[in-house]
Amino acid sequence: YDPLQKLMELFEGVSTKSMKAGKAEELLALPLEERLQRRIIDGEKNGLEADLDEALRDTPALDIVNNTLLEGMKVVGELFGSGQMQLPFVLQSAEVMKTAVAHLEPHMEKVEGAEGKGTIVLATVRGDVHDIGKNLVDIILSNNGYNVVNLGIKQPVAAILDAAAEHKADVIGMSGLLVKSTVIMKENLQELNQRQMAADYPVILGGAALTRAYVEQDLHEIYEGEVRYARDAFEGLRLMDALIAVKRGVPGARLPELKQRRVPKRDTPVAVEEPEGPSRSDVAVDNPLPTPPFWGTRVIKGIQLKEYASWLDEGALFKGQWGLKQARTGHGPTYEELVESEGRPRLRGLLDELQTKNLLEAAVVYGYFPCVSKGDDLIILNDDGSERTRFTFPRQRRGRRLCLADFFRPEESGETDVVGLQVVTVGSKIGEATAELFAADSYRDYLELHGLSVQLAEALAEYWHARVRAELGFGGEDPADVEDMFALKYRGARFSLGYGACPDLEDRAKIAELLQPERIGVQLSEEFQLHPEQSTDAIVIHHPEAKYFNAR
């Protein structure tokens, strides 16, 4: 049985539904200006340079960009905003735009004192290594005529402000995926206040952990300038347009309304006291204890793609990472048709490329450790029963009052439990390859390879968790259907740090001390981030009742 071969078989006979010959004839029948716009909208590079050369005979290069090409990108934004265009195709359009501008640039005269559309400094904030969202904003803004100064990841506020001053920025954009990054953004805004720079720099904030209410209510109250939330790159573009128009005094220009804080109407204030709950939840403490095959750690390198490929969650890849979805209008291909025509053929090509170029270096370090619990603490023990280290987890304040420590034998039981720990990585080469694609303006390939790299790290983590369940003696309880596996219908759970039940990233230092992940090329930064990005860590709990929950 070869899981990779089975995955590849899904793609047999699947090819992109292409009508390029017919499309080329249609394009040639259009007037030149409309044809150029259509090339942008369709993401069609073939014949682009010839059309641009023809346009240059009668029209200045800058006018072609501003009056024709940017109008095409505007339509792309409208199609994406209305749900009629998929993110990968948006990026194809941006690639064509970039190619067109590069072809026209030698014909553009630099005009002294010309304002241009505006400049934004973009950065992922201090301590955060996630840059896919920020880079998508870069792609959309730069291909809609803005000058983007992209500082990269882990940027301290001083570097952001220095760049803003150096490049005479109109706007500052900050992003971050981590919950902790929302705190850093608040601190950065306070620093702008302190330096009396808030009036000079409107700020756009974005990232998975942010909410519109937090930015436009809480942060707006503390920032002395303008601050707005962008849900995606195109909202960032609309905000940039509005901020620049207001700054330059364009008649009728105004910023979008802020989200208003909703105040519940009450006749009299009601004081709600938190009930005193038990110090431990009702999680069972008499479940059978498994015996691990060894105590301590092991390192496994050279894991082949075919070993974990069947654990790749296609739904998370196609919908979550690549942004494939059915148009909201109901017109156009269904999600399933997009998977067959776009998703799977491109996935097959990428998997082939990863193997041909040896871009994957999958490795795992994992181990089993004796432990007990005490209140909210999980205590890792030495061989002689003395304390080696301890994790303190938050407890729910209502409901079952769950805490991760509850899933292990309490100290007073006199029994010793077992906890699994693992760190997995697919290596650094694949991250380097995605960075090269971004630098080469291969935007769609960048999005798709980055998304695949993240999901392959998840697949490797799932695969190894299954191995741990087998080694602990209850792998036979796993469901037969892979979709049930993705729905976590197996015994126990794998908890990654930074999420609901164990939100404190600082605990990564304890996992690193126990597992020494540098043996598989994974480093822990001062901000408790794993490098390479395509790496995950986890606390593996065998208790049958262990499922995901939020503690705060």
Kindly state whether residue 284 falls inside one of the protein's structural domains: no
Has residue 1 got a pLDDT over 50?
no
pLDDT of amino acid 423: 98
CA angle at residue 458 from 456 to 459, to 5 degrees?
60
pLDDT exceeds cutoff 70 at 458: yes
Query: pTM of the prediction?
Result: 0.84
Q: What is the pLDDT of residue 227?
A: 96
pLDDT at 99: 94
CA-CA distance, 458 to 62, in Å (whole number)? 46
Q: Are residues 311 and 162 in the same domain?
A: no
The string of pLDDT tens digits covering residues 354-402 is: 999 999 999 999 999 999 999 999 999 999 999 999 999 999 998 899 9
pLDDT category, 527, cuts 50, 70, 90? confident
Check the CA dihedral 239-243-248-252 and report its sign: positive
Residue 282 lies in a domain: no
Model confidence at 112: pLDDT above 90: no
Burial 60-86 (b: 16+ CB within 10 A, else e): ebeebbeebbbebbbbbbebbeeeebb
Distance CA 327, CA 81 (A): 10
Q: Which of 107, 133, 164 corresponds to the end of one domain?
A: 107
In a domain, 166, yes or no: yes
Residues 45 and 178 in one domain: no
pLDDT at 13 (0 to 100): 47
Answer yes or no: is pLDDT of 15 > 50: no
The arithmetic mean of pLDDT across residues 117-141, rounded, is 93
488 in the same domain as 406: yes
Greater pLDDT, 161 or 83: 161
| CATH code for the domain in which residue 226 is found | 3.40.50.280
DSSP 165-220: HHTT-SEEEEE-SSHHHHHHHHHHHHHHHHTT-TTT--EEEE-TT--HHIIIIIIH
Of the ranges 277-286, 294-303, 342-351, which one carries the lowest mean pLDDT score? 277-286
Tokens of 105: 């640039």
Within 13 A of 10's CA, how many CA atoms are on the CB side? Answer: 19
Give the mean pLDDT of 320-326.
Answer: 90
Same domain, 73 and 179: no
Domain-embedded: residue 522: yes
User: Does residue 482 register a pLDDT over 60?
Assistant: yes
243 and 319 within one domain: no
With cut-offs at 50, 70 and 90, classify the pLDDT of residue 425: very high
Q: 479 and 519 share a domain?
A: yes
Report the mean per-residue pLDDT for the chain.
90
Least Cα distance to 219 among 233, 234, 202 occurs for 202
CB 60 within 8 A of CB 106: no
Residue 16: pLDDT over 60: no
Same domain, 369 and 470: yes
253 lies in some domain: no
Would 260 be classed as within a structural domain? Answer: no
pLDDT of 399 reads: 87
The Cα–Cα gap between 219 and 187 comes to 10
**Residue of 415 and 86 predicted with greater confidence:** 415
Average pLDDT over residues 261-278: 51
Per-residue confidence (pLDDT) for residue 25, from 0 to 100:
76
Provide mean pLDDT across the span 497-507. Answer: 90
* pLDDT value of position 24: 72
Which of 247, 281, 306 is the last residue in one of the domains?
247
**CATH number for the domain harbouring residue 72:** 1.10.1240.10
In what helix (H) or strand (E) does residue 229 lie, and over which residues does it extend? strand 227-229
At 275 the pLDDT is: 52
Q: Which domain holds residue 33?
A: 25-107
- What does the chain come to in residues? 552
- Are 415 and 365 found together in one domain? yes
Say if 278 falls within a structural domain.
no
Q: Which of 212, 227, 247 is the last residue of a domain?
A: 247
Say yes or no to pLDDT of 455 above 90. Answer: yes
Contact by Cβ (8 Å): 13, 340: no
Residue 532 and residue 508 share a domain: yes
Residues 6 or more apart in contact with residue 187 via CB below 8 angstroms = 157
In a domain, 374, yes or no: yes
Evaluate if residue 264 carries a pLDDT over 70.
no
Contact of 103 with 52, CB cutoff 8 Å: yes
pLDDT tens digits, 200-255:
999 999 998 899 999 999 999 999 999 999 999 999 999 999 999 999 999 998 99
pLDDT at 109: 72
Segment 443-452 shows an average pLDDT of 96
Task: Read off the pLDDT of residues 90-111 as tens digits, 9 standing for 90 and up.
Answer: 999 999 999 999 999 999 876 5
Lowest mean pLDDT among 161-165, 168-172, 265-269: 265-269
Average pLDDT for 10-35? 66
Residues 439 and 416 in one domain: yes
Model pLDDT, residue 17: 41
Comparing 96-105, 328-337, 370-379, 523-532, the range with the smallest average pLDDT is: 328-337
Does residue 12 register a pLDDT over 80?
A: no
At 474, which CATH number? Answer: 3.10.196.10
Contact 502, 404 (CB under 8 A): yes
Tell me what pLDDT residue 336 has.
92
Mode of pairing for the β-strands spanning 203-206 and 227-229: parallel
Asked whether residue 421 falls in the same domain as residue 458, the answer is: yes
In the chain, how many domains are there? 3
On whether both 100 and 145 belong to a single domain, the answer is no
User: Above 60 in pLDDT, residue 265?
Assistant: no
Q: How confident is the model at residue 272 (pLDDT cuts 50, 70, 90)?
A: very low
Band (pLDDT 50/70/90 cuts) for residue 9 is: low
> Once rounded to an integer, what is the mean pLDDT over residues 395-418?
95
- Stretch 11-39: mean pLDDT: 70
Task: Kindly state the average pLDDT of the residues 45-51.
Answer: 93
In this prediction, residues 161-178 reach a mean pLDDT of 95
